[in-house]
């Protein structure tokens, strides 16, 4: 594995068209999500980032084309099969009133349980591990609506971890968080990818955040890929000007050495 | 949890005992004890009052309460709307329209036919609402909106029939619709109990599905739940439960709305805990409503549906008020 420079694809789409009714959002998308890497999807509003994420999680059906998850066609998998492989954190997730963090994370075991199966030791281990990894073990008995935005976000990520899928899809996980909690969350993602071999795909709004933390960046415009690859290769003044219509200077981040773009 | 269940069970037992004792002819505790155990010098008249008049009535009220509360709990979960109750599926207005049609069109219909019509009307409306709301998948908002639309259509039909029907028939229909358990007997009680046992158990078994569907369609689906199938099956359960309740007792409002809300406040968000508590609360509410309706203005009997409305509405307002101020 260590010498594998071109890791296998976790999720791949071929000729993917996605539409809301008659309006086509994504057209002819050939996208590869490398396994055990942190991939960021960036692009202006309406570029189809969230739609792609939802389609990868089988929450939307593509109008054309196919999606391969671990090399298997998504259409051949049941929602339960998909839920065992892929966890999703959507924007504006709302839990029922009064629910505790523990209750929330336990829901992550749903795809692993049958109607009559009891709560198993395996379920408990998965939940404990998810709470520990996200640093939410102390909050397990707290009501979700009593937590700060950052804590709540980590609790939701814990739920997706309890699913024990290898891939986690996050839709703008850092939006509305203050800087401290943004950094905390990005470090959590990095840790999950590096130490626990998760494949993480996140839609991010902050280009510099994507450049700093992600290993693979996909830049989208009008439902098509403009550029994809390592941050150094993708984040250039030309690409940013083309996609975001903003003139920038790209310099080296003095701390991490990654590209840092500064609007003119 | 067990404390709450014990307290509610005791409350229900007291209400049942009071319902057996109080009425036009008040019985002493000793009379009831002798009548129910058959010991001592049981007075045949009090035996008759307890077993033939009051016991079937209180048991029927209890079962109707359980059915309404269980259906309400399911509806609240699958619609994800705090104001949703089985009525949003058109169940009440469908039953009302069908019953009115039977009463007005057939002179002096047998009670069984009336009940069958009520149930079929409820089921037909629930089916129509679900079918019209289907657009490749279901959405709770679409179901609610179409439910409201079809309900007003059915209500218009009911009003039309009552405007042109024979005045005596219309009045009989109105009494039935007001929601009452006055013509109870043991056969009815047994039938309703048999009818309810399976759907109530299925609902309880589906607790985990309901816990998850509360998160919203996208999340439930992302965790592997076949949301449309679960919602469809739950709507069938709601129809079977509240359709039966409407058929035997007419329209008893607010129980399906109040019981699950109170239960949720008492025991939290898990449906495995909500169901038993809500069922007991529902039973207490309907038994109490029937008892109050019988004893406040004797010899007049207020239908239980009117009492639940009178008691339920302010109680519900109080709940919402408490939530507004108790939140911080």
From residue A250, alpha-carbon distances to A208, A210, A238 in Å are 10, 14, 10
Average per-residue pLDDT in chain A?
90
How far apart (Å, rounded) are the C-alpha atoms in residues A218 and A228? 4
Q: Cα-flanking dihedrals φ and ψ of residue A107, to 5°? A: -60, -25
Tell me if B269 and A90 make a contact (CB, 8 A cut-off). no
Q: Which of A86, A93, A98 sits opposite B268 (nearest CB)?
A: A98
How far apart (Å, rounded) are the C-alpha atoms in residues A16 and B4? 55
Q: Which of B219, B221, B270 sits opposite A93 (nearest CB)?
A: B219
Q: What's the pTM value of the predicted model, to 2 decimals?
A: 0.86
* CATH number for the domain that contains residue A17: 3.40.50.300
The whole-number pLDDT of residue B323 equals: 61
Q: Does residue B144 carry a pLDDT above 60?
A: yes
Within-domain flag for A113: no
Q: Which of B223, B264, B268 sits opposite A111 (nearest CB)?
A: B223
Whether the CB-CB separation of A83 and B222 falls below 8 Å is answered with: yes
Q: Domain containing A86: what range?
A: 9-94+165-263
- Mutate one of B223, B274, B319, B328 to test the A interface: name it (highest A CB count within 10 A): B223
Per CB distance under 8 Å, which residues of B are interface residues toward A? 205, 208, 211-212, 214-216, 218-219, 221-226, 264, 268-270
Q: Which residues of B touch A113 (CB under 8 A)?
A: 208
How far apart (Å, rounded) are the C-alpha atoms in residues A121 and A71? 31
Q: Does residue B226 carry a pLDDT above 80?
A: yes
At A202-226, the pLDDT tens digits run: 999 999 999 999 999 999 999 999 9
Q: Are strands A86-89 and A64-69 parallel, antiparallel or unpaired?
A: unpaired
Average pLDDT over residues B306-317: 79
Q: Which of B216, B223, B269 sits opposite A103 (nearest CB)?
A: B269
**ipTM entry:** 0.84
At B166-192, the pLDDT tens digits run: 888 888 778 778 887 777 788 889 988
The whole-number pLDDT of residue B322 equals: 66
Whether the CB-CB separation of B175 and B303 falls below 8 Å is answered with: yes
Q: Which of B205, B215, B218 sits opposite A95 (nearest CB)?
A: B215
The nearest alpha carbon in chain B to A110 belongs to B223
| Residue B210 CB partners (closer than 8 Å, separation 6+) | B73, B74, B77, B78, B234, B271
The nearest alpha carbon in chain A to B328 belongs to A146
- Mutate one of A77, A92, A107, A171 to test the B interface: name it (highest B CB count within 10 A): A107
Residues of chain A short of pLDDT 70, as ranges, are 1-7
What is the CB neighbour count within 10 angstroms for residue B325?
Answer: 7
In Å, how far is A61's CA from the nearest CA of chain B? 11
Within-domain flag for A158: no
% of chain B with per-residue pLDDT over 90? 29
Q: Does residue B60 carry a pLDDT above 60?
A: yes
Q: How many domains does chain A have?
A: 1
The nearest alpha carbon in chain B to A55 belongs to B222
The whole-number pLDDT of residue B42 equals: 67
Within-domain flag for A106: no
Average pLDDT over residues B201-207: 94
B328 — pLDDT class (breaks 50, 70, 90): very low
Average pLDDT over residues B251-264: 88
CATH topology of domain B60-323: ABC transporter involved in vitamin B12 uptake, BtuC (1.10.3470)
Whether the CB-CB separation of B108 and B142 falls below 8 Å is answered with: no
Tell me if B223 and A115 make a contact (CB, 8 A cut-off). no
The separation between CA A197 and the C-alpha centre of its own chain, rounded to angstroms, equals 14
At B22-48, the pLDDT tens digits run: 877 777 777 777 777 777 666 777 777
From residue B245, alpha-carbon distances to B31, B118, B122, B193, B220 in Å are 31, 10, 10, 11, 30
Average pLDDT over residues B88-96: 85
Q: Sketch the domain layout of chain B as residue ranges.
A: 60-323
Average pLDDT over residues B280-291: 93
B95 — pLDDT class (breaks 50, 70, 90): confident
How far apart (Å, rounded) are the C-alpha atoms in residues B4 and B10? 10
How far apart (Å, rounded) are the C-alpha atoms in residues A77 and A69? 9
Q: Which residues of B touch A20 (CB under 8 A)?
A: none
């Amino acid at each position: 594995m260590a010498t594998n420079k071109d890791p296998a694809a976790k999720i791949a789409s071929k000729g993917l068209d996605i539409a809301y009714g008659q309006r086509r959002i994504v057209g002819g998308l050939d996208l590869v999500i490398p396994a055990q890497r942190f991939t960021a999807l960036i692009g202006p509003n309406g570029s189809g980032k969230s739609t792609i994420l939802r389609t990868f999680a089988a929450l939307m059906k593509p109008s054309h084309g196919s999606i391969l998850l671990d090399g298997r066609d998504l259409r051949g998998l049941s929602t339960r099969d998909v839920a065992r492989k892929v966890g999703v954190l959507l924007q504006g997730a709302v839990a029922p009133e009064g629910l505790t963090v523990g209750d929330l994370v336990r829901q992550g075991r749903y795809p692993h349980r049958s109607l009559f199966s009891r709560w198993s030791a395996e379920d408990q281990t998965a939940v404990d591990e998810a709470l520990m990894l996200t640093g939410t073990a102390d909050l397990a008995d707290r009501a979700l609506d009593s937590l700060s935005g950052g804590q709540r976000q980590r609790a939701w990520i814990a739920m997706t971890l309890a699913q024990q899928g290898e891939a986690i899809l996050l839709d703008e996980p850092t939006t509305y968080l203050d800087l401290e909690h943004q950094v905390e969350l990005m470090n959590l993602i990095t840790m999950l990818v590096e130490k626990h071999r998760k494949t993480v795909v996140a839609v991010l709004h902050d280009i510099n955040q994507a450049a700093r933390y992600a290993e693979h960046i996909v830049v989208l415009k009008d439902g098509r890929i403009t550029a994809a690859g390592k941050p150094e290769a993708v984040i250039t003044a030309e690409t940013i000007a083309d996609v975001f219509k903003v003139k920038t200077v790209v310099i080296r981040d003095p701390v991490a050495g990654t590209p840092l773009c500064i609007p003119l | 949890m067990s404390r709450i269940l014990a307290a509610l069970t005791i409350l229900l037992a007291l209400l049942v005992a009071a319902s057996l004792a109080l009425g036009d002819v008040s019985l002493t505790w000793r009379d009831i004890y002798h009548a129910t155990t058959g010991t001592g010098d049981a007075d045949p008249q009090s035996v008759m009052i307890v077993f033939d008049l009051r016991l079937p009535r209180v048991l029927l009220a209890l079962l109707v309460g359980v059915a309404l509360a269980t259906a309400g709990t399911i509806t609240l979960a699958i619609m994800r709307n705090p104001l949703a109750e089985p009525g949003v599926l058109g169940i009440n207005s469908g039953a009302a329209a069908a019953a009115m049609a039977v009463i007005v069109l057939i002179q002096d219909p047998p009670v069984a036919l009336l009940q069958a019509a009520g149930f079929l009307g409820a089921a037909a409306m629930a089916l129509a609402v679900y079918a019209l709301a289907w657009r490749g998948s279901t959405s709770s908002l679409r179901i609610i909106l179409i439910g409201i639309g079809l309900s007003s259509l059915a209500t218009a039909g009911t009003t039309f029939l009552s405007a042109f029907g024979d005045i005596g028939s219309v009045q009989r229909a109105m009494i039935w619709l007001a929601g009452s358990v006055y013509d109870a007997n043991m056969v009815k009680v047994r039938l309703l109990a048999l009818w309810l046992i399976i759907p109530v158990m299925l609902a309880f078994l589906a607790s985990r599905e309901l816990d998850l569907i509360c998160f919203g369609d996208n999340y439930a689906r992302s965790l592997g739940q076949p949301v449309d199938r679960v919602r469809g099956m739950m709507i069938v359960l709601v129809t079977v439960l509240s359709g039966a309740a409407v058929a035997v007792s007419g329209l008893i409002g607010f129980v399906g709305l109040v019981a699950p809300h109170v239960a949720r406040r008492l025991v939290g968000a898990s449906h495995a805990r909500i169901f038993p508590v809500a069922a007991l609360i529902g039973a207490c509410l309907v038994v109490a409503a029937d008892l109050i309706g019988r004893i406040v203005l004797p010899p007049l009997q207020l239908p239980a549906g009117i009492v639940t409305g009178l008691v339920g509405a302010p109680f519900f307002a109080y709940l919402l008020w408490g939530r507004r101020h108790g939140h911080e």
